[in-house]
Every structure is written in C-alpha cells, then in structure tokens.
Amino acid sequence: MQKLGLDPYIESPNYLSERAAATGATVFLTNHSWNDNAVNKIRMIAGRGASASPFEIGLAWIQRYFMAASVSSTVLNTVVWMELNAPPPLIAIAVAAIATLSGASHKL
C-alpha cells in the first residue's frame, strides 16, 4: 500500500494506548468537547463532592477508545488507498474507448 501521509493517525493511538497502560491512565478528556461531553462534565465537578471525576472511565475503556481510534485510522487509510487506486468508472472507460475509436476513424 502506498504512503498516504496517514501513518501518524494510525501510530498515534497505538503509542498513546501504550502510554496510558504504562501510567494507569483512567481519565478520558480530549480537546473535542462534543466527543467526551466535557462541557456538561465540567459543570458536574463542582457538585460532585468526594465522588470520582466525571471524566473517570477506567483503564479498560481508555484502551477500547484507543483500539477504536487505531482501527478507524487503519480503515480510513485502506479506503482512501483503494479509492486512489481504483479503476476508472465504466462510463470513463466507455468514453475513452469511443474517443479512441473516433480518433482512429479520422485517420482512415
């Protein structure tokens, strides 16, 4: 498969998964607030008392997240590669054939 520049998107979740496991990370917080419902969870922090952080999801869920991110990136890479390397649609082949035949008939 040719390089599409997507390798960092595939390698990053794998690296972060390893780091999360090594450090025992159990909190999920991203810079995509729609992804982790951060705005609402931040509001919950003030009234939570001694209970766990609303961002606390556990190591197993952290690992599942990174696995899904890795699979998603790999699938994206494969789909983009397949699209870039796909044969032209049938109509394009037909038009090219007609153009070739048309050009050939003018040479007779």
pLDDT of residue 84: 77
Residue 95 tokens read as: 């038009």
Note the pTM of the prediction, 2 decimals. Answer: 0.66
pLDDT of residue 77: 77
pLDDT along the chain (108 residues), means of 10: 70 92 92 81 83 88 90 80 74 71 52
- Give strand pairing partners of 56: 27
pLDDT of residue 23: 96
pLDDT of residue 102: 59
pLDDT of residue 4: 67
